[in-house]
């Protein structure tokens, strides 16, 4: 919780003295009611602020859910190729958003972008074991041997040790859900290729508590809802 005058002045639009005046004139509203005083303690992330009836965005960080299309890089900039940042409006690009983790160029689906470095660190930390669920179309069909191998934790040809992963066949078995608790380079593709089941297409459905909004068409984005933000902030780092 933060003082109202400090928070509103941190937007750069008013000094603390001006906020005090605005509050005393009843022009500052918090969650649909007139602010009690400049020293009032408010929730900077979840409360809704308005001055003269205009919503004021006081959130310290921005959180964006993107349905990444195939063909764009999960990077902030690239000289020759389109990046996920190119799918966002200029004002968001200027805030210095970055993707939380990477999806391969041809992988589609859920990508979180933010300027909250601490949250990104928590989500990506190997200690967090944040589950990531991918829908994979593969060549061949998933069998019990594949399920057991992923569940045991695969060791790939180059010696890479993977943590136990979930594998759930869908339909006739050439589509499956893969659940990782880490995010090594090309991990899903490499694990399934090692089982003789190369991946044709890969789509991320969820990351921890965050699930891709089905309404979001490929290439489209939206801000996280307060509930989604709170769920992400509530993630615990386990050892």
Residues noted as catalytic: 104
For residue 128, give every residue at least 6 positions away whose Cβ sits within 8 Å of its Cβ, in sequence order, or none: 122, 235, 237, 238
Q: Please, which residue, 16 or 105, has the CB nearer to ligand URA?
A: 105
Least separation in angstroms between residue 185's CB and ligand URA is: 8
Least separation in angstroms between residue 79's CB and ligand URA is: 22
231 interacts with ligand URA by CB under 6 A: no
Q: Please, which residue, 42 or 103, has the CB nearer to ligand URA?
A: 103
188 interacts with ligand URA by CB under 6 A: yes
Of 98, 102, 57, 92, which is closest to residue 77 (Cα–Cα)?
Answer: 98
Work out which of 20, 68, 122, 189 binds ligand URA, going by CB under 6 A. Answer: 189
The DSSP bridge pattern shows strands 199-207 and 108-114 to be: parallel
Span interacting with ligand URA, options 37-45, 86-94, 103-111, 212-220, rule CB under 6 A: 103-111
107 interacts with ligand URA by CB under 6 A: yes
Q: Please, which residue, 71 or 96, has the CB nearer to ligand URA?
A: 71
Beta strands in the chain (DSSP E): 2-3, 28-30, 33-34, 41-42, 49-51, 54-56, 63-68, 98-99, 108-114, 132-138, 166-170, 175-180, 199-207, 210-211, 221-223
187 interacts with ligand URA by CB under 6 A: yes
186 interacts with ligand URA by CB under 6 A: yes
Helix pair angle (117-124, 226-233), 10° resolution: 60
202 interacts with ligand URA by CB under 6 A: yes
Q: For residues 49 and 31, what is the distance between their CA atoms, to the nearest angstrom? A: 6
Q: For residues 223 and 64, what is the distance between their CA atoms, to the nearest angstrom? A: 4
Q: Please, which residue, 14 or 134, has the CB nearer to ligand URA?
A: 134
Work out which of 40, 43, 104, 213 binds ligand URA, going by CB under 6 A. Answer: 104
Q: For residues 111 and 128, what is the distance between their CA atoms, to the nearest angstrom? A: 18
Q: Please, which residue, 10 or 174, has the CB nearer to ligand URA?
A: 174
Least separation in angstroms between residue 40's CB and ligand URA is: 45
Query: At 151, which helix (H) or strand (E)?
Result: helix 144-152
Residues at the contact surface with ligand URA, assessed by CB under 6 A: 103-104, 107, 134, 186-189, 202
């Amino acid at each position: 919780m933060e003082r109202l005058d400090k928070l509103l002045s941190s937007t750069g639009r008013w000094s603390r003295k001006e906020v005090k005046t605005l509050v005393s004139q009843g022009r500052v509203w918090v969650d649909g009611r007139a602010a009690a005083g400049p020293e009032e303690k408010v929730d900077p992330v979840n409360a809704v602020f308005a001055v003269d009836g205009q919503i004021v965005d006081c959130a310290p960080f921005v959180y964006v859910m993107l349905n990444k299309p195939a063909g764009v890089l999960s990077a902030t900039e690239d000289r020759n190729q389109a990046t996920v940042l190119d799918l966002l409006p200029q004002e968001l690009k200027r805030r210095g958003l970055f993707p939380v983790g990477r999806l391969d160029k041809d992988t589609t689906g859920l990508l979180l972008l933010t300027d909250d470095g601490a949250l990104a660190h928590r989500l990506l930390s190997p200690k967090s074991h944040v589950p990531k669920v991918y829908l994979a179309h593969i060549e061949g069909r998933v069998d019990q041997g594949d399920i057991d191998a992923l569940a045991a934790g695969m060791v790939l040809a180059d010696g890479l040790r993977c943590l136990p992963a979930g594998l759930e066949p869908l339909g006739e078995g050439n589509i499956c859900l893969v659940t990782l608790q880490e995010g090594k380079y090309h991990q899903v593709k490499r694990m399934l290729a090692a089982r003789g089941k190369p991946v044709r297409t890969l789509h991320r459905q969820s990351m921890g508590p965050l699930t891709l909004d089905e309404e979001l068409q490929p290439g489209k984005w939206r801000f996280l809802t307060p509930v989604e933000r709170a769920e992400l902030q509530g993630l615990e780092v386990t050892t």
